[in-house]
Chains A and B, each alone.
Chain A
Amino acid sequence: MREQTEPAGPRAFKDDRRLVEALRSGDEAAFASLLTRYHASLLRLAMAFVPSRAVAEEVVQEIWLGVLQGISGFEGRSSLKTWIFQILTNRAKSRGAREYRSVPFSQLENPGSSPEKPAVDSAWFMSDGHWVNHPQRWDEDTPEKLLLSKEARLYIEKAIESLPPNQRKVITFRDVEGLSSEEVCNILELSETNQRVLLHRARSSVRRALERYLDGKIDRT
Chain B
Amino acid sequence: MMNPKAVNELVLQYLAGNLTCKEVTDLVTDFLEGRLTFMERVRFQMHLGLCLDCRAYLSQIKQTIRTLGKLPAEPIPPEVEEELLRRFRNWKRR
Contact = CB atoms under 8 A, between A and B. Distances in A.
Interface string A9-52: 00000000000000000101001100110011101100000000
Contact of B66 (A2, A196, A199): A2
A178 B60 contact: no
Nearest to B92: A26
Contacts of B66: 1-2, 143
Interface of A: 1-2, 26, 28, 31-32, 35-36, 39-41, 43-44, 57, 61, 64-65, 68, 118-120, 122, 124-125, 128-131, 134-138, 142-144, 146-147, 153, 156-157, 160, 171, 175-176, 178, 181, 196, 199-200, 203-204, 206-207, 210-211
A207 B56 contact: no
A131 B53 contact: yes
Contacts, number: 136
A198 to B, nearest CB: 10
B61 interface: yes
B73 interface: yes
Chain B interface residue number, banded: 35 or more
Contact of B59 (A138, A157, A196): A138
Q: What secondary structure prevails in chain A residues at the interface with B?
A: helix
Contacts of B92: 26, 28
Contacts of B11: none
A21 to B, nearest CB: 14
A203 B67 CA distance: 11
Given A40-B73, A135-B57, A129 B63 contact: no
A119 B28 CA distance: 11
